[in-house]
Amino acid sequence: MTLSGQIAIAGAYEHPTRFAPDKSESLIMAESARGALEEAGLRLADVDGLFAAGISMGPMGVVNLAEYLNIKPRYLDGTNIGGSSFVAHVSHAAAAIHAGLCEVALILYGSTAASSAMAIGTGLGGGGRDPEAAFVAPYGMTTVGSYALVARRHMHLYGTTPEQLAEIAVTMRQHASLNPEAKMQKRIDVADVLESRMISTPLHLLDCCIISDGGGAVIVTSLERARDLKQPPIVLRGCGEAVCHQEIGSPDLLTIAAKQSSEEAFAMSGLSHDDVDLCTIYDSFTITLLVTLENLGFCKPGEGGAFVEAGRIGLSGALPVNPDGGGLSSNHPGMRGIFLVIEAARQLRGGMGERQVDGAEVALVHGTGGTLGAIHSGATLLLSRD
Amino acid sequence: MAKQEIEYRAPATNWQTRGFWEGCGRGELVLQRCGDCGTVQHKPRGICASCLSSALEHFVACGRGRVYTYTVTHQNNMPGFRDACPYVLAYVDLEEGPRLMTQVAGCEPDAVEIGMAVKADFVDTGDGLGVPRFVPA
Ligand SMILES: [Zn+2]
């Protein structure tokens, strides 16, 4: 009955755009669908499951998207749990395929966050007239500020330094310098990060992800069918989801959803941490990546600062993370989870040139959605070569 | 020198939350305690989120707590906050248990520390309502 080893990613396409004032979200999604279907050797008519989430998609967004694509899938999933949604869509699609409710699932994301000048990081707060939001809205919690609350607590308890956080941004930029499609390719050093403008202490501008346009598509199907398609199948070995918040009981702010979701994914997969050759981890901010590594179990709570030093998460390190340059340097069109899945699949297929992780057999994908210091979701996948 | 003055507006309320904001208008921090399981909860709800009992009672908290974590916000482009930068966003753990997101005011932002003792301070927003922030105790 287990999902593990039954389902595969058969298509993974990242839209090359980083700035697309001439395109709509739907168009970016449709062009991404074209790219993924072409590389998989499938046609639009083969798609019978549609999965999508977006910043501007309304409550019936996935229905409108089916109309835009002129398809009539028999399975629809518009789950939106923040930027991690597309990681969760893979496991939802796997369950639906395993249950026989669809066979070829298309997962889409598209966004014009940059060209429509969304102030994702520091434009929130104020809260409008929602009584439920009134307990946060008066205080001006920005997205950056929410993550900064986590970073400050981590520094206080464990002595984590701004230099250690900066090391993460430097490594992501090194990776991006090898990715011709990355938005930010110019190498930086720790001093550049520390000298960049303070946004919300202790997070500087270069501790924060960039804002870009972009989108992507992932195709999920049975492993059996994937073996007949054009790309080497990337097999789903384990998955998990979780939610975390700061409500009743004063929970530990540094225990995040990644702990629960990754424990479930590892248990399902039968794999251990030593089996993992690379990770793609949502790096909305440097602290996000650091605290996620701890909660995924790659190091103990409090050891994340030392863990990311000396190039350990670099391409030639013991645990390469985000070979594409991540949200800190490659692209971040508002909700980045789909690129975590795409880059993991591409790396496992191989042939990624200068940024290829040598001998990549197993990848861990982890997406965070929402705001880490307030309410957030987490979704983990373990993927492997066939 | 920080201005630190967020322009607080009257909070949006509903029947579940109005008692809290009216308490702030009187200078009182009103919390909910479950009559069945004893859990103190915040934010206010029409039900106990620990045992789903409806037997909730309200009481006035002492207003004292400690800073659990904080950040000095240097950039917020929204009106009402832009000119208040740098201001301190914080979680405060109340003596009664609940954790509140809030502002720490009444001192230089650089003087705020984790573990610092703070007490509630109320900004009157008119119509009998108020918003709580915290200042050094
Ligand atoms: Zn109760």
Residue A42, phi then psi, degrees to nearest 5: -120, 165
Residues in chain A with CB shorter than 8 Å from the CB of B99 are 246, 250
Q: Give domain A7-117+210-385's CATH architecture.
A: 3-Layer(aba) Sandwich (3.40)
Exposed/middle/buried for residue A297 (C-beta within 10 Å: 0-12, 13-18, 19+): middle
* All structural domains of chain A with their residue ranges: 7-117+210-385
Cα Rg, chain A, nearest whole Å: 19
Given a contact cutoff of 8 angstroms between Cβ atoms, the answer to whether A96 and A67 are in contact is no
Chain B residues near residue A374 by CB distance under 8 angstroms: 101
Q: Which of A119, A148, A248 sits opposite B77 (nearest CB)?
A: A119
Place of tokens 């593990």: A4
Cβ–Cβ contact A247 with B under 8 A: yes
- Regarding an ipTM greater than 0.85, the answer is yes
Cβ-nearest to B43 among A135, A142, A198: A135
Please give the distance, rounded to the nearest whole angstrom, from the Cα atom of residue B54 to the centre of ligand 1: 8
pLDDT at A120 > cutoff 90:
no
- pTM beyond 0.90, yes or no: yes
For residue A35, the CA-to-ligand 1 centroid distance in Å is 53
What strands lie across the sheet with A105-111, from one edge to the other?
A75-77, A49-52, A105-111, A214-222, A7-14, A234-245, A375-385, A362-370, A278-281
How far is the C-alpha of A299 from the C-alpha of A306, rounded, in Å? 9
Distance from the B13 Cα atom to the nearest Cα atom in chain A, whole angstroms: 5
CB contacts, 8 Å: A122 with chain B: 75-77
- Per-residue pLDDT reduced to its tens digit, A64-115: 999 999 999 999 999 999 999 999 999 999 999 999 999 999 999 999 989 8
- pLDDT for A247: 74
- What is the average pLDDT across A225-232? 98
Chain A positions touching B73 (Cβ under 8 A) are 140, 142, 145, 200
Measured between CA atoms, the residue of chain B closest to residue A137 is: B11
* Contact yes or no for A273/A249 (Cβ under 8 A): no
- pLDDT computed for residue A1 by the predictor: 60
Mean pLDDT of B15-40: 96
Q: What is the pLDDT of residues A11-26, one digit of tens each?
A: 999 999 999 999 999 9
- Contact between A175 and A323 under an 8 Å Cβ cutoff? The reply is yes
Question: Do the chains contact at B13 and A134, CB–CB below 8 Å?
Answer: yes
**Dihedral, CA atoms, B105, B110, B115, B117, nearest 10 degrees?**
-40
Contact B78 A201 (CB under 8 A): no
- CA–CA separation, A335 and A339 (whole Å): 9
A269 contacts A235 by C-beta, under 8 angstroms: no
